Chains A and B, each alone.
Chain A
Amino acid sequence: MILPELIISLNVMIFITGVIIPLGIEKPLNMLKLPLISSIAAMLLSAVYFFCLHNSDPVLFFGGNFIIDKLAFYHIMIVNIVFLAAGIYMQEYFAKSMETDEHTAFHYRRFSMLWQGFQLMLIIVILSNNIGLSWVAMEATTILSAFLIISESDSLSLEAMWKYLLICSVGIGLAFIGTILVAAGGINTFSELYIHAEELNPKLILFAFIFIAVGYGTKAGLSPMHSWLPDAHSQAPTPVSAVFSGVMLNAALFIIMRYLPIVERAGGGSGEAHSILLLTGFLSLLFAAVFIPIQTDLKRLLAYCSVEHVGIIAIGIGLGGLGTTAALLHCLNHSLSKMLAFFASGSVIHEYGTRDMRKITGLMKRMPMWGTAFMVSMLALMGVAPFSIFISEFLIVKTAFTGGQYLLFGLFMLGTLAIFISMLKFTLEIAFKQGKPGKLTGRVGIADKAIIIISVAVLLLFGLWLPPDFFGFLEQAAQIIEGGLI
């Protein structure tokens, strides 16, 4: 089967040319077109291999170092969608900030190159079957994305970048130790490891998984190693915040998902690995519940909200069964709504000139379009009924309840409720509190309108009616995590 190799090579080539071309471009706006073009190309390619491979078994290629299966495909889709949307949004966003900032072509060139490298590395993370390669690519995302944070170069973003760099490097270092311990047996691909899992030393693998969970969990923003996340997400330029929240956290969780069946199979299904995820998931939820009410910065609020949702995904996977499917669905829902929320807040912050939520009032009247987008995305993030996050959260709660884990159920409800109340208060004040009169000139381009409308539509659609084919696809992907198909 030569096809996947060809497609992946093409994909890599696209990004490599994408990284090289900006060197020859002078106009900043043109440099920013490139990420968009390569995202579209990547999107088309992934569509191609979806049609070729969506019904087949997992495909190994490049000497078994890469794999495409449903789980990987699903995540690739999320990566491509978010990057595409962010690529579109970016055009308007930087065009606006170009009017005021004194950034040189150098900044935009660097941004364009790093952005595409970042996307490529995320795709490699997801397609990798080799545990070492996963690690290398994950570490590379840290390195490449560090400078995306300080595109708006001021002291706070520099501080955020430093924390991101240091904490994530240490986290990834821990994951490295875990990776080595897993590879100690002499096998270093996920698929082989799963096949030979029963021959592995269960204690060793569990011990290694702790390192892996903490390590990649750091990058995923799971508590207690999440402290870089609010800083980096809030200080980065909005498109970067969107891909951090929407994609990078998922990708880090994705590696943990890859390890999960191996650990469980090695341990004879003892469920210890799941418990670790449950624990960190609840810790994250708790942290978010404590810190969200005291926020004043809009983007920090969204960042803590990411901690919450990553926690929820971890809880879903930790619960297993239907919870895993729900968690996968939650990945997409969260990415879409968080992306939209960041886009909206980015525009709002730009127009109001402040990130202090106490100073942003009367949004619905002053910026109707972005206001609506903001309202919808915030409501979705809170888990309000007609939107899709409600469905995924509901499924997770249901899993906990039907599984008889009432304590977990109670804790989950308590945490989400606390977050719901404080976020609702913030959202309502921003949207409807009497503010200064007069509309703001926030332009909304055609592309922006399209993003808003499509995202809202998908969020609503999945909330009201989940296509059975899609759900079936998700269930099959979840089976991989559960240890069924590989």
Chain B
Amino acid sequence: MQHNLLILISLLIILSNLFLLGSSRTRAMLRGIAAQGVLLSILPFLFPMHKSGLVSIIVPAVLSITIKAILIPYFLHRVIQRVNTENALNPYIGYPVSVIIGLLISYGSFLFIEKLPFSYLSISPFTTSAAFASILIGMLIISTRRNVIAQIIGYLVFENAGFILGISISSTMPLFIEIGIMLDLLAGIFIMVVAVSRIHILFDSVGTQKLERLNK
């Protein structure tokens, strides 16, 4: 049962990644990332063997659902409302192509996960490979999207991957550090959101093409 649940959640995470890659609308992406946050908060309950005591299971779960599924999507929702973001910002790689790339990445991580040195640590290769695919997909979103909000969401995908890995292969972090990690993430996103509103005020756009004056 627990094994099946892990498979299901990994699968849903992969599908939500593909959804994020394929959706052009930032609001839709927001739903996707909030859904991912909910999925993540189930994970701590499925890896009880890594945890000592109920508190160390419940705290990460509660933190993840409040921060990743509620607070961060709420911040982003507010900023999307404020900046009225344009959806039609052509990404560097088109949506269908990036979904196909995402599919291949996911498949690839299924294939190769056993060859990586940490596969023996995890009881569920499914989860680990979903996490590994998320790392790459998050980076793909960050590097191919021209919309700063989409980039933030890519960063969140990437962070979620860290969370999944953390939950599924290691657990030795003291609780206060896990809380610190979550608060860092929250503060980071908050700062990014503030930056996005400033970008919007200054450039009247949240596209990154206007953020390309500094180079060399």
Q: Give yes or no for direct A-B contact (beta carbon below 8 Å).
A: yes
A interface residues, Cβ below 8 angstroms from B? 65, 130, 132-133, 135-136, 139-140, 142-143, 146-147, 150, 153-156, 158-163, 165-166, 169-170, 173, 176-177, 180-181, 183-188, 201, 203-204, 206-208, 230-231, 234-235, 291, 294-295, 300
B148 proximal to A (CB < 8 A)? yes
- Whether A184 pairs with B170 at a CB distance below 8 angstroms is yes
Q: Which 6 A-B pairs have the closest CB atoms?
A: A132-B177, A203-B117, A136-B180, A184-B170, A204-B117, A139-B184
Query: Are A143 and B191 in contact, with the CB atoms below 8 A?
Result: yes
Contacting A181 at CB < 8 Å: which of B169, B173, B180, B198? B169
Distance, CA A295 to CA B116, complexed state (A): 42
Set of chain A residues within 8 Å of B38, measured between Cβ atoms: none
Determine if B213 and A162 form an interchain contact, defined as CB atoms under 8 angstroms apart: no
Whether a CB of chain A sits under 8 angstroms from the CB of B155 is yes
User: What is the minimal beta-carbon distance from A110 to any residue of chain B, in angstroms?
Assistant: 11
Output the nearest chain A residue to B181 by Cβ-Cβ distance. A136
User: Which chain B residues border A163 with CB–CB below 8 Å?
Assistant: 211, 214
Q: How long is the Cα–Cα vector from A146 to B192 in the complex, in angstroms?
A: 9
Decide: A162 near B199, CB < 8 A? Known: A132-B173, A177-B135.
yes
Partner of B202, one of A135, A155, A201, A291: A155
**Cα of A204 to Cα of B214 in the assembled complex, Å:** 38
Contacts A170-B142, A186-B170 given: A165-B135 contact, CB under 8 Å? Answer: no
User: Chain A's nearest CB lies how many Å from the CB of B60?
Assistant: 13
Alpha-carbon distance between A155 and B216 when the two chains are bound, in angstroms? 17
Most buried by B among A143, A154, A231: A143
- Nearest Cβ distance between residue A169 and chain B, in whole angstroms? 6
Query: Which residues of B sit under 8 angstroms from A162, Cβ to Cβ?
Result: 148, 195, 199, 211
Q: Is B96 an interface residue (CB 8 A)?
A: no
Asked if residues A176 and B162 are in contact (CB atoms below 8 Å), the reply is yes
B211–A159 CB distance below 8 A:
yes
On chain B, the residues within 8 Å of A147 by CB distance are: 191
15 contacts between A and B (CB under 8 A): A132-B180, A133-B177, A133-B180, A136-B180, A161-B195, A166-B142, A169-B155, A176-B181, A177-B161, A180-B165, A183-B170, A206-B117, A230-B216, A234-B214, A291-B216
Within 8 A of A (CB), among B129-183: 135, 139, 142, 148, 151, 155, 158-159, 161-162, 165-166, 169-170, 172-174, 177-178, 180-181
A163 to B208, CA, bound (A): 10
Q: Within 8 Å CB of A156, what residues of B?
A: 213-214
Return chain B residues, CB-CB under 8 Å to A65. Answer: 174
Give complex CA distance A466, B121 in Å.
49
Q: Which residues of chain A have C-beta atoms less than 8 A from B166's C-beta?
A: 176, 180
Question: A300 to B216, alpha carbons, bound, how many Å?
Answer: 9
Interface residues in chain B, defined as those with a beta carbon under 8 Å from any beta carbon in chain A: 116-118, 121, 135, 139, 142, 148, 151, 155, 158-159, 161-162, 165-166, 169-170, 172-174, 177-178, 180-181, 184, 187-188, 191-192, 195, 198-199, 202-203, 211-214, 216
B203, closest chain A residue (CB) = A155
Contact between chains at A169 and B188 (CB < 8 Å): yes
Report the minimum CB–CB distance from A435 to chain B (whole Å): 25
Name the A residues within 8 Å of B174 (CB-CB). Answer: 65, 130, 132, 188
In the complex, the answer to whether B173 meets A188 with C-beta atoms within 8 Å is: yes
Which B residues lie within 8 Å of A166 (CB)?
142, 151, 155, 192
Q: With both chains docked as a complex, state the minimum distance between the C-beta of B37 and any C-beta of chain A, in angstroms.
A: 16
**Once the chains bind, are B214 and A173 in contact (CB under 8 Å)?**
no
**Contact, CB under 8 Å: B177 / A207:** no
**Highest count of chain A CB atoms <10 Å: which of B118, B165, B180, B214:** B214
A234 to B20, CA, bound (A): 35
Q: Are A136 and B184 in contact (CB under 8 A)?
A: yes
Query: Which of chain A's residues have a CB closer than 8 A to the CB of B121?
Result: 184, 204
Bound form: Cα–Cα A471–B116 in Å: 42
Closest to B119 in A: A204
What's the minimum C-beta distance from B138 to chain A, rounded to whole angstroms?
8
Distance to closest chain B CB from A205 (angstroms): 9
Are B177 and A130 in contact, CB atoms less than 8 angstroms apart?
A: yes
| A155 CB, nearest partner CB in chain B, Å | 5
B214 and A235 contacting across the interface, CB-CB below 8 Å: yes
Asked if B198 and A158 make an inter-chain contact with CB atoms under 8 angstroms apart, the answer reads yes
Task: State the Cβ distance, A472 to closest chain B Cβ, in Å.
Answer: 36
- Chain B residues with CB under 8 Å of A300's CB are 216
Tell which of A146, A159, A165 touches B214, judged by Cβ atoms closer than 8 Å. Answer: A159
- 6 extra A-B contacts, CB within 8 A, seeds A143-B188, A180-B166, A181-B165: A130-B174, A132-B177, A136-B177, A142-B188, A162-B211, A181-B118
Taken together as a complex, chains A and B put the C-alpha atoms of A184 and B161 apart, in Å, by 15
Given contacts A169-B155, A180-B169, A291-B216, contact A207 B195 (CB under 8 A): no
Contact A132 B162 (CB under 8 A): no
Q: How far is the CA of A230 from the CA of B85 in the complex (A)?
A: 29
Return chain B residues, CB-CB under 8 Å to A181: 118, 165, 169-170
Contact among A153, A186, A201, A291 with B117 in the assembled complex (CB-CB below 8 Å)? A201
- Inter-subunit contact A204/B180 (CB<8 Å): no
- Which residue, B139, B161, B181, has most C-beta atoms of chain A within 10 A? B181
- Shortest Cβ distance from residue B98 to the other chain A in the assembled complex, whole angstroms: 17
* Closest B residue by C-beta to A203: B117
- What residues of chain A lie closer than 8 Å to B148, measured between beta carbons? 162
Chain B neighbourhood of A133, CB < 8 A: 177, 180
B-chain residues with CB within 8 Å of residue A183 when the two chains form the complex: 170, 172-173
Set of chain A residues within 8 Å of B172, measured between Cβ atoms: 183, 185-188
Residues on A with beta carbons closer than 8 Å to the beta carbon of B118 = 181, 184, 204, 207-208
Closest to A157 in B: B214
Q: Which residue of B lies closest to A234 (CB)?
A: B214
Min CB gap A167→B, angstroms: 9
Nearest Cβ on chain B to A268's Cβ, whole angstroms: 15
- The minimal Cβ–Cβ distance linking B188 to chain A, given in whole angstroms, is 5
Cβ-defined contact, B181 with A132, below 8 A: yes
